[in-house]
Amino acid sequence: MAILFDSRPSRRNLLGSALAICAVSAMPMPALAQTSQQPFEQWIVAFRPRALKRGVSDATYARVMNGLKPDMGVFALQRSQPEFREQLWQYLNRRVSDWRIMTGRERLRDVRPLLTKLEKEFGVAPAILLGLWGMETAFGDPVVHQNHMRPVIPALAALAWGEPRRRAYWETELLNALVIIERGWSNPQEMRGSWAGAMGHTQWMPEVWLNIGFDYDGDGRASPFGKPDDALAGTCKYLLQRGRYRRGEPWGYEVRAAGTAGGERTYAEWHKAGVLRADGKAYDAPNARAKLWIPLAGGPAFLIGANFDAVKSYNPSMNYALAICHLGDRILGAGPFVQAFPGSERAPTLTEVQEIQKRLTSLGFDTNGTDGRVGLETMKAVRNYQQKVGMQPADGYAGVKLLARLRQGT
């Protein structure tokens, strides 16, 4: 989950979503050596009084930290950048994918009573929770947890010891993680997450786990792992407290807004000004306020309200928030955007993505599976194929134009 956006570094800069981390390539460690004034073992000893001051017992500190080896891989992950640059329509197509929509609907069947209860108690719409959950960890997918998460304590300890620019932040998050263990809410073996320490269904940083997470399922501990009850309830609490989520208001709508001036107005006022929903339906909550946003000239336009900003409290990217809101709507039955983005393709179906993966693999471009999920290996395989056959741009996007070329042969 997101950290609070104040003087601390933003979650977008630190980690992105769990699935975005999968699209980061590691670099050789010698080029990215840590910076520290003392060996790691000495640092462990020197850090102990700070942990004790936070209420961590001698026994807990010794059990967790004595003999710990730092996760040196975090320095490469922190400094490397995603290999692929996506246009907005590609970003949305890959995240609001057929696979993720279908998987979201399957999970919805399991958690509908929970989402209904959460909406009644907290006011957060099920679509928003589904979108966040799907974006962050593909609905708690064990494949994501197993293949793309790492032990958090060694990662945070490495950063607290050896990352000079944000050392105070990493030290605080390591202390938060130790306090969680001291409380008996978790243990080092369970605490697997991103290189930056985000964990569980909706990717809680230790600070969020400690201060906003709570025991919603009544099992005696607050936990973002296992059943999604605590994670989704904690996400509701986060959106309310730090995102200022408003009960009963929509995140926004796609609209028809050619030549309309901006500013903030109520939905009723937008309607009077001729800005209508793209799907032709009436505005819900007509007295709620919204502002006009057109991401790309010639593309779809949106009215976005306070709850769009609440989603942005998780990550300050407009594109990220739009993907979450759209994914949640699609899971609940809404259609694609009415207006297409300039130069865009329609999103490939699950079957088409699987065909792309099978054809690439048969040609020697291994996609590491043919399940219809586009991860880093599929993107690398696509780009390598594009480069070999001279397709431009070689952007790694697994879309319908690529499939047409694959069907033609090389």
Which pLDDT band, with edges at 50, 70 and 90, does 258 fall under?
A: confident
Token pair for 142: 């064990």
User: What is the pLDDT averaged over residues 14-18?
Assistant: 44
Residue 150, H or E segment: strand 150-151
Q: Which residues pair with 150 in a beta bridge?
A: 193
Q: What is the pLDDT of residues 47-56, one digit of tens each?
A: 999 999 999 9
- Does residue 345 have a pLDDT over 90? yes
> What residues have CB less than 8 Å from 214, skipping those under 6 apart?
222, 230, 233, 234, 237
Q: Are residues 263 and 173 in the same domain?
A: no
Which pLDDT band, with edges at 50, 70 and 90, does 80 fall under?
A: low
* DSSP calls for 202-260: TTB-HHHHHHT---SS-SSS--SSSSSHHHHHHHHHHHHHTS---TT--SEEEEE-TT-
Which pLDDT band, with edges at 50, 70 and 90, does 298 fall under?
A: very high
- Does residue 71 have a pLDDT over 70? yes
Token pair for 303: 């009215």
Q: Are residues 300 and 378 in the same domain?
A: no
Q: Are residues 70 and 152 in the same domain?
A: yes
Mean pLDDT over each residue of the chain, to the nearest integer? 90
Q: Are residues 279 and 391 in the same domain?
A: no
Q: Which domain holds residue 398?
A: 350-408
d(CA 138, CA 202) in angstroms, rounded, equals 9
- Does residue 356 have a pLDDT over 80? yes
Q: Are residues 253 and 227 in the same domain?
A: no
Which pLDDT band, with edges at 50, 70 and 90, does 182 fall under?
A: very high
Q: What is the pLDDT of residues 103-114, one digit of tens each?
A: 999 999 999 999
pTM of structure:
0.89
Q: Are residues 27 and 65 in the same domain?
A: yes
Q: Which alpha helices (H) appear in 242-338, and where do they start and end?
A: 267-272, 306-312, 318-331
Q: Output the CA–CA distances (angstroms, integers) from residue 332 to 102, 109, 126, 207, 272, in the order listed.
A: 10, 11, 9, 32, 29
User: What is the pLDDT averaged over residues 260-264?
Assistant: 81
* Res 21: pLDDT: 37
Q: Are residues 66 and 169 in the same domain?
A: yes
* Res 11: pLDDT: 44
User: What is the pLDDT averaged over residues 280-308?
Assistant: 96
- Judge whether 286 lies within some domain: yes
The maximal CA–CA distance of the chain, rounded, in angstroms, is 68
What is the end-to-end Cα distance of the chain in Å, rounded?
A: 44
Phi (first) and psi of residue 247, to 5 degrees: -60, 135
* Res 34: pLDDT: 57
- Does residue 4 have a pLDDT over 60? no
